[in-house]
Amino acid sequence: MNKILITGALGQIGSELSHAFNERYGNENVIVSDVNPDVNGIYPENIFEQADVTDIGALEKLIQQHQIDTVIHLAAILSAKGEQNPELAWHINVNGLLNVIKLGIKYNLDRLMVPSSIAVFGPQSTLYNAPQETILKPNTMYGISKVIGEMLGSYYFRKNGLDFRGIRYPGIISYKTPPGGGTTDYAVEIFYEALKTGHYTCFLSSEACLPMMYMPDCVRATIELLEADAEFLKHHGDYNVGAMSFTPEDLANEIRKHIPNFTIDYKPDFRREIAKYWPASIDDSAACADWGWLPQYNLEMMVKDMLMHVAEKLNIPFSLKQ
């Protein structure tokens, strides 16, 4: 791993992962790219290249020009946006990925990392302690595109020896860059509304329990899998990884420990149907065994850290109650 390209780098995960990569691998070795040209001060230290992952010519130019040997492919349309425009989700998530895979084989990349998601599970999956191996028949276009991504990873590993790696990320919670149109976005929005207005109207139902992860764990998991010794990896693009699970009501109760007057009500929309067939919790024993995965943040720690950072960002005076 000498030169790393991150696609979709302006998004929620890319904008933080890239900074961790700078510290670890040197900013001159991390090339960041996105279809969106609006870098807005996120990357003063990196070379930024605008590129659409559905344009294989543009991607190839980047790989040649910067002698890229590792790609972290984050460009995607997330679940809720994907249900509003399924063809676009297919085009970017599947055709964009195929472009990256083709180039990965042509340029003999050291590694290609592509996130999967808890969205691969569906109505026929085991949804409590969702196993590494279970029936994967998701009912969203986003979920379908992620199952296909996992399968393509295994296929091209067998056929061409492509070192394809990926994690089924839970809902990621962070404060630096807003989430990009997913079903778990409520778990970020709630902090802003709690601090600004003391009230949040949730688009999921109160009992929708989903696996979630705080960004520092997400970044660490990604780096740990990226650097793991290939000979110990029994899976490719589909590692289950857990950290915490909670319902909107659990999260509201935890926030209320620090903002006692905080209130929440529920107006579920189409995203409730998406969440209904995602797991409540995850069995991540394969990730623990193969590359030593261990989360650090639980609900209580994440809520405290989010409240402090979001308050600072909003310039709202705030202190934790305990």
Q: Is 240 in the site for ligand NAD (CB under 6 A)?
A: no
CA dihedral of 8, 163, 153, 12, whole degrees rounded to 10: -20
- Contacts of residue 56, defined as CB under 8 A and 6 or more positions apart, other chains included, come to 99, 102, 103
Which member of 5, 6, 14, 286 binds ligand NAD (CB under 6 A)? Answer: 14
The CA distance from 30 to 48, in Å, is: 9
Residue among 79 and 99 whose Cβ is closer to ligand SER: 79
Is the CB of 78 or the CB of 209 nearer to ligand NAD?
78
CB under 6 A: which stretch of 34-42, 219-227, 255-263, 289-297 binds ligand NAD? Answer: 34-42
- Both tokens of 281, joined, read 């919790």
Among 104, 115, 237, 248, contact with ligand NAD (rule: CB under 6 A): 115
Query: Minimum distance from CB of 297 to ligand NAD (Å)?
Result: 14
Q: 3-state DSSP call for residue 135?
A: coil
79 binds, among ligand NAD, ligand SER, none (CB under 5 to 8 A by kind): ligand SER
Please state the closest distance from residue 143 (CB atom) to ligand NAD, in A: 10
- DSSP assignment of 260-276 equals TT-EEEE---HHHHHHH
Residue 11 touches which of ligand SER, ligand NAD, none (Cβ within 5-8 Å per kind): ligand NAD
Spatial neighbors of 3 by CB under 8 A, at least 6 apart, are 29, 31, 66, 67, 68, 69, 70
10 binds ligand NAD per the rule CB under 6 A: yes
- 149 touches which of ligand SER, ligand NAD, none (CB within 5 to 8 A by kind)? none
Q: Nearest to ligand SER by Cβ — which residue?
A: 182
Partners of 200 in the beta sheet?
Answer: 264
Distance CA 8, CA 176 (A): 15
Binding flag, residue 36, ligand NAD (CB under 6 A): yes
Q: Does 150 help bind ligand NAD (rule: CB under 6 A)?
A: no
For 48, phi then psi, to 5°, come to -110, 135
User: What does the CA dihedral 127, 132, 137, 138 come to, rounded to 10 degrees?
Assistant: 60
- Binding segment for ligand NAD (CB under 6 A), chosen from 7-15, 236-244, 270-278, 301-309, is 7-15
Q: Cα separation of 20 and 158, whole Å?
A: 31
The entry of ligand SER, ligand NAD, none near residue 279 (CB within 5 to 8 angstroms by kind) is: none
CB atoms under 10 Å from CB of 192, counted, come to: 18
What track of x and - describes contact with ligand NAD for positions 49 through 68 (by CB under 6 A)?
---xxx--------------
Site for ligand SER, rule CB under 6 A: 78-79, 117-119, 142, 171, 182-184
What is the contact mask toward ligand NAD in residues 79 to 98, using x (rule: CB under 6 A)?
-------------x---x--
Pick 30 or 210: Cβ nearer ligand SER:
210
Active site residue 200: no
DSSP-assigned letters across all residues of 274-311: HHHTS-SSB--HHHHHHH-------HHHHHHHHHHHHH
Which of 25, 43, 128, 142 is an active site residue? Answer: 142
Q: Number of C-alpha atoms within 13 angstroms, CB side, residue 269? A: 10
- Report the catalytic residues: 142
Residue ranges binding ligand NAD (CB under 6 A): 7-8, 10-14, 34-36, 52-54, 74-76, 78, 92, 96, 115, 117, 169, 171-172, 179-180, 182, 184
